[in-house]
Structure 1
Amino acid sequence: MSERAPERQRWEQRMETPLAVASLAYLGGYAVRVLARGLSPDGQDLCLAITCAAWALFAVDYAVRMRLSGLGPLRFVRRHPLDTVVLVLPLLRPLRIVTAYDRVQRRRDGARLSLYARVMAYAGLSVALLGFAGALTVYHHEHGAPGATIRTFGDSVWWTCATLATVGYGDVAPVTPVGRVVAVGLMGGGLALLGAVTGSFSSWLIQRFDHGDGGRPPGGSPGAS
């Protein structure tokens, strides 16, 4: 397994840009297919082909990394649960943009954002991508369903924001099984990601106030400058 580590790292570096582009292409193709009114059959087929090609690239990357890891399928799935979930659930595929950006930032030399700023930036970007993908999915399955209250994409965006924030006004709600499954995922994702943002911001404020009061910063030693 150790002999394959450099090869695996080269593969991951080589696939960073293609996977980020595929994530954007997947989201763009799906958005056009859902939102474009009067899209021709050829246009729908093109959007479907783009989304399928993006998924195929994700599947190829997953299979190659599994082979290069030297692990069995079950052990690889246990060690890489996020990659497995992203491969299976279309809603989460745009989040590969965030992971690709994080890998690029880790390889760069020189000053970078602080830990708190990176957590807030990555969590905020994840919330935006997850919310947009969730709004598209819910609108796609809800707007024509009997008894649906989410009739427009604007309704879907409003509902997604309320769900991610765990506010739950109840003025609009999904009625289809797919819509309700997406709702559960958005609730969990909203709690985790927004909690990361608020927790990082609170920690940053505490550190700032601690410095202002002459306190020693976390992890510092007595007498350190």
Structure 2
Amino acid sequence: MREQAETRDAVWERRTELPLFYASLVFLAGYAVRVLAGDAHSLWRDVASVLVLVTWLCFIVDFLVRLVLSRQRPRRFIRLHWLDALVVLLPTLRPLRMVKVHDAIQAKHDRPRRGLYPRVITYAGLSSVLLGFSGALGIYHVERQNPSSPIHTFWDAVWCVCQTLTTVGYGDVTPVTARGRLIAVGLMTFGLGLLGAVTGSFSAWLIQVFRREGEEGPPENGSSPGAPQ
């Protein structure tokens, strides 16, 4: 029934969405160890490197399997699934698939699908946290070796990412390397999108609430509900 109504690549995607999300967290943890634990024992850094490599291979295998199951030309498949192709190249962008992950978790626990506004806010919030952490790791990784960079610690990178995602931009801590600025541009782009999604959804929700309250408001003659006429 349900699987018969779905295409094979859709069934594969549904079944692997949660495992690959957990794999992305493992990837992020391994990458964090590689970046932040520079003085740690070489064994820990080697283990982290293996975790990063294995999870990255999982993303590549998943993309290739979906390509084969879809029976589409590679160029067309990549055009229709450009975000998935981008995630294969940059696994730290996996949080951008948070909408499908959230729906997969809801379906796994047989929970009804949430409304549009809670889903958008949940997606934007989780995506901002994970993307912000990934961006801070990336900026710190490429900036810490540059003597002219104001980013000397991981917390400097976190502060820079917070300014970028919220579009505040104090300018006191900014990347100076080409790769660091490229990461910042990506965060600016996604930050504007996430901020716009949250702001628009919250505004629409407020309008809906006020409209509902207006429809349930007091009678036109000004008397309070239940008062004697």
Match of 1:71, as an amino acid? Q
- Counterpart code for 1:144: Q
Contact 1:94/1:129, CA 8 A, preserved across alignment:
yes
Inter-partner Cα distance in structure 2 for 1:98 and 1:110: 15
Q: Any stretches of 5+ residues in structure 2 without a counterpart? A: 217-229
Equivalent residue letter for 1:190: G
1:12/1:102 CA distance change after superposition, 3 Å = same
Q: Gaps spanning 5+ residues in structure 1: where?
A: 216-225
Structure 1 residues 196 and 94: CA distance shift in structure 2, 3 A: closer
Moved more, 143-152 or 178-187: 143-152
How far residue 175 of structure 1 moved from its aligned partner, in angstroms, is 0.9
* 2:7 aligned with 1:42: no
Q: CA RMSD in A?
A: 2.0
Task: Return the alpha-carbon distance in structure 2 between the equivalents of residues 189 and 145 of structure 1.
Answer: 26
Across the two proteins, how many residue pairs are aligned to each other?
A: 213
User: Which residue is equivalent to 1:81?
Assistant: 82
Partners of 1:114 and 1:4 lie apart in 2 by: 25
Q: Which moved more, 1:67-76 or 1:16-25?
A: 16-25
> What is the rounded CA distance, in whole Å, between the counterparts of 1:194 and 1:31 in structure 2?
26
> Does the 8 Å CA contact 2:149/2:176 hold for their aligned counterparts?
yes
| Letter in structure 1 aligned against 2:86 | V
Question: Cα gap change, 1:138/1:151 in structure 2, threshold over 3 Å: closer, same or farther?
Answer: same
Partner in structure 1 of residue 159 of structure 2: 158
> Relative to 1, partners in 2 of residues 1:100 and 1:173: Cα closer, same or farther, differing over 3 Å?
same
Kindly provide the amino acid, as one letter, of the partner of residue 80 in structure 2: R
Deviations 1:107-160 (A, max 9, x none): 664534321011100111101110000000001111121201010111111110
- Counterparts of 1:200-211 in structure 2 under 5 Å? 200-211=201-212
Residue pair 1:4, 1:69 contacting (<8 A) in 2 also: no
| Separation in structure 2 between the aligned mates of residue 142 and residue 20 of structure 1, nearest angstrom | 28
Which amino acid counterpart does residue 19 of structure 2 have in structure 1? P
Tell me how far apart the structure 1 counterparts of residues 29 and 96 of structure 2 sit (CA, whole Å): 13
Q: Is contact 1:141–1:178 with CA below 8 Å preserved after alignment?
A: yes
How far the C-alpha of 1:4 sits from its partner, in A, is 10
Residues 98, 129 of structure 1: alpha-carbon distance in 2 compared, 3 angstrom cutoff: farther
Length-normalised TM-score, structure 1: 0.88
Change beyond 3 A, Cα 1:130–1:142: same
If the length of structure 2 is used for normalisation, what is the TM-score? Answer: 0.86
- 1:10-60 C-alpha deviation (Å, 9 max, x unpaired): 322331232012101000001111112411222212111111111100000
Are 1:142 and 1:150, in contact at CA under 8 Å, matched by a contact in 2?
yes
Report the equivalent of 2:185.
184
In 2, Cα distance between equivalents of 1:4 and 1:78: 24
